[in-house]
Structure 1
Amino acid sequence: MTRPPLLLPTLDLPRPRQRIVDGRYRRDPRAIACEESHERLRRVEDVEGFFRPAIEEICRRHGVPTDRLRKFARGFNLVYGAGEDLVVKLYCGYFPEDCDIECASLQALEDTAVAPPRIVARGELEGWPYLVMTRLQGVELSTIWDEIDEADRIRLLRDVGAAVADMQAVGITDELRPWIVDWTDFAAHQAIDAADRQSEQLAASWVAQIEPFIADHLPLVPTQTTPVLLHTELVDAVWLVQQRTGRWELTGIYDFADAMVGDAGYDLAAPPVFLGRGKADRHRAFLEGAGLSPKVADEAWRRRSLLYLLLHPYSNLAWYMKVAPPPPRVTTLEQLADFWFAA
Structure 2
Amino acid sequence: MATEVGEALAVLHSLDHAPLTDVLGPENWDTALTERRTRAVERQRERDLPEQWLEQIPDFLDSVPLATDRPRSLLHTEVMRQHLIVDPDDWRLTGLIDFEPAMIGDRAYDFVGVGLYVSCGDPRLLGRVLKAYGHEFDPRELLAHTLLHVYSNLPRYFKDLPEPPEPTLDSLAETWFGAK
Provide the TM-score with structure 1 as the length reference. Answer: 0.48
Show the counterpart of 2:2: 157
Mapping 1:68-107, distance limit 5 Å: none
Q: 1:200 to 1:269 in 2, by over 3 A?
A: closer
Residue 269 of structure 1 deviates from its aligned partner by 2.4
Is residue 257 of structure 1 aligned with residue 100 of structure 2?
yes
Choose the corresponding residue for 1:206, options 34, 37, 53.
53
SS at match of 1:205: helix
For this pair of structures, how many residues does the alignment match?
A: 176
Inter-partner Cα distance in structure 2 for 1:239 and 1:203 = 33
SS at match of 1:251: strand
Show the counterpart of 2:159: 322
Is residue 170 of structure 1 aligned with residue 15 of structure 2?
yes
Show the counterpart of 1:283: 126
Show the counterpart of 1:188: 34
Inter-partner Cα distance in structure 2 for 1:314 and 1:279 = 21
Decide whether the 8 Å contact of 1:167 with 1:229 is kept in 2. yes
Residue 288 of structure 1 deviates from its aligned partner by 1.4
Inter-partner Cα distance in structure 1 for 2:159 and 2:81 = 14
Mapping 1:303-342, distance limit 5 Å: 303-327=140-164, 329-342=165-178
Q: 1:272 to 1:200 in 2, by over 3 A?
A: closer
Decide whether the 8 Å contact of 2:79 with 2:118 is kept in 1. no
Equivalent residue letter for 1:177: T
Residue 189 of structure 1 deviates from its aligned partner by 1.3
Decide whether the 8 Å contact of 2:162 with 2:176 is kept in 1. no
Inter-partner Cα distance in structure 2 for 1:288 and 1:322 = 28
Show the counterpart of 1:248: 91
Equivalent residue letter for 1:291: G
Residue 337 of structure 1 deviates from its aligned partner by 0.3
Inter-partner Cα distance in structure 2 for 1:171 and 1:200 = 36
Show the counterpart of 1:114: none
Unaligned runs of 5+ in 2: none
Residue 278 of structure 1 deviates from its aligned partner by 2.7
Deviations 1:50-69 (A, max 9, x none): xxxxxxxxxxxxxxxxxxxx
Pairwise CA RMSD of aligned residues?
Answer: 1.8
Deviations 1:113-157 (A, max 9, x none): xxxxxxxxxxxxxxxxxxxxxxxxxxxxxxxxxxxxxxxxxxx11
Deviations 1:220-250 (A, max 9, x none): 1122331110111112221122321xx4222
User: Which 4+ residue blocks in structure 1 deviate beyond 4 angstroms?
Assistant: none
Is residue 228 of structure 1 aligned with residue 73 of structure 2?
yes
Same amino acid, percent of matched pairs:
32
User: Rg: which structure is higher?
Assistant: 1
Residue 331 of structure 1 deviates from its aligned partner by 0.8
Residue 251 of structure 1 deviates from its aligned partner by 2.5
Residue 272 of structure 1 deviates from its aligned partner by 1.9
Unaligned runs of 5+ in 1: 1-155
Residue 208 of structure 1 deviates from its aligned partner by 2.1
Residue 205 of structure 1 deviates from its aligned partner by 1.8
Choose the corresponding residue for 1:215, options 38, 46, 62.
62
Equivalent residue letter for 1:248: W
Inter-partner Cα distance in structure 2 for 1:208 and 1:282 = 31
Deviations 1:5-29 (A, max 9, x none): xxxxxxxxxxxxxxxxxxxxxxxxx
Provide the TM-score with structure 2 as the length reference. Answer: 0.88
Equivalent residue letter for 1:190: R
Show the counterpart of 1:43: none
Inter-partner Cα distance in structure 1 for 2:72 and 2:57 = 27
